[in-house]
Amino acid sequence: MNKNSIIVTYGEDPRVMTEQLLAAVKPEEMIKPGATIGLKPNLVLGKPADGGATTHPEIAEGIIEYLLVKGFKKIIIMEGSWVGADTKRAFTTCGYKRLADKYHLELVDLKKDQTIKVEAGGDPLEICALAKEVDFLINLPVLKAHCQTELTCALKNLKGCIPDREKRRFHSMGLHKPIAALSSALTPHLTIVDAICGDLTFEEGGNPVPMGRLIAGIDPVLIDTYAADLIGLEATDVPYISMAHKLGVGEIDLSTAEVIETNADDRKGTGFRLSNRARTLARKVEENQACSACYGSLIHALHRLEEEGRLNQIPDKSIKIGQGYRGACGEDPGIGNCTKGLAPHLKGCPPTARQIKEFLKKI
C-alpha cells in the first residue's frame, strides 16, 4: 500500500467489509515479524457503535483474526475515554472486553498508563507510554461531527492516547494546535476509519447517519482531508488538518491521492453533510477553553430543551462554560466546576446532559 493510497470498501456488514478491506490493504506487508501491534479504537464513552459515536467492535475483531492468521500474536487494544468517562465501562459496553477475553488479548486503559514527555510542534506534550512503545499502531477512528472542531477522525482520535490532565490542557490551548502537534509526535502506521454510521450532529452519538463505508490509509492528514471532503468540508474548515500538514505529518492535497474502491458497485449514498445543529445551539453559550465532555453535554442538553420548546427562554451567549472561567464571578449561569465563582452554577467534571438540562430548566 502506498502512502498516498486511500482504500475504500462499501457495505453494511462491518465484519465482511473489514475482511474485504484488509485483503486490499495487506497490512502484513507493513509489519515486521514478532511486532507488538496496538489497536486504538474510538471509545469516547460507553455507547454501542450503532449510535454513531464509537468504533464497531466487528472491525477490531476482523483485524485481530486477520493478524492472528498471518502469524502476529502480540496484539493490544488500548484507549482512554474522554474526561469524566470510565474507559473500563466503555470497553465492556462497546464489546471490546468480550474481544479481549475471546482472543486472550491485553486490554489497556490508557488513563492508567505511564506517560512520557516529548516536544512536538514547538510545545511540550505528555503522551501515554504504551502508544509510543508498540511497534505498529493501527488507528480506528469514527468519522463523525465534533461540537468544537467540526470533524473528528484520524488525527483527533489520537487524543485518547494522552492522560486526562493533558486533554484538559489541550482545550486550554484551543485544541487545534496541540492536536496537530500530537500527530507529529505520534503518527499511526495505518488508519482504518469506521464510516459506517457516524453521527454527523454530536460526537457522543445518538443521531447515526448511514454512510456504509470503511476507509483505510497510511497518511492520517490525507485521510482526514478525504473524510472532510466526504461530509462537505474543506480541509481549511478544520484548522488542525492544515496545521498537521505544515508540521510535515502528511499531505493535504487530495489530487495527490490514489483512491481505490474495492467494491464500487456496492456504494450507496453521497453528499453527506454535517447537520450544524451544534453550531446553532452554541449561540446560547459563551465558551472559554471548555473540555469536549463538558461542552458536548451542554450542547446535548440544549438540544433536548429545544425539543421541549424551551430553548428560546435562554438568552444568547448567557451560559458560561470552560476553564477560562476559573476565578471569574458573575450572575450568568455556569456549567461545571470551572465556573464555581458564578451564581448560579452547576457542579460536575463534567455534569451530565440530563443534569444540565434540569439545572437550566430551574433557572
- Assigned domain for 271 exists: no
Residues 297 and 354 in one domain: yes
Residues 154 and 12 in one domain: yes
Residues 241 and 306 in one domain: no
Residues 259 and 284 in one domain: no
pLDDT band at 123 (very low <50, low <70, confident <90, very high): confident
Residue where one domain finishes, among candidates 266, 297, 322 = 266
Residues 227 and 355 in one domain: no
Residues 236 and 118 in one domain: yes
pLDDT of 109 above 90: yes
pLDDT in tens, 26-74: 999 999 999 999 999 999 999 999 999 999 999 999 999 999 999 999 9
pLDDT band at 94 (very low <50, low <70, confident <90, very high): very high
Residues 68 and 192 in one domain: yes
Residues 66 and 182 in one domain: yes
pLDDT in tens, 308-318: 999 999 999 99
CB-based contact 109:79 (threshold 8 Å): yes
Residues 55 and 184 in one domain: yes
- Assigned domain for 13 exists: yes
Q: Which domain holds residue 340?
A: 277-362
**pLDDT averaged over every residue in the chain:** 96
What is this structure's pTM?
0.94
CA 52 to CA 95: how far, in whole Å? 15
pLDDT band at 281 (very low <50, low <70, confident <90, very high): very high
Residues 245 and 295 in one domain: no
**How many Cβ atoms from other residues are within 10 Å of residue 81's Cβ?**
25
Residues 208 and 356 in one domain: no
Residues 64 and 88 in one domain: yes
Please give the span between the terminal C-alpha atoms of the chain, in angstroms, as a whole number.
Answer: 57
Residue 64 vs residues 32, 49, 59, 131, 141: alpha-carbon distances, Å: 16, 18, 9, 18, 16
> How many domains is the chain partitioned into structurally?
2
HEC assignment per residue over 75-117: EEEEECCCCCCCHHHHHHHCCHHHHHHHHCCEEEEHHHCCEEE
Q: What is the mean pLDDT of residues 254-282?
A: 91
Find the angle CA(326)-CA(204)-CA(215) to the nearest 5 degrees: 125
| Listed residue (8, 22, 108, 4) closest to 58, CA to CA | 22
Q: What is the mean pLDDT of residues 17-32?
A: 98
pLDDT of 269 above 90: no
Bridge partner list, 319: 285
Q: Which runs of consecutive H residues, i.e. helices, occur in 104-199?
A: 129-133, 154-157, 164-172, 176-185
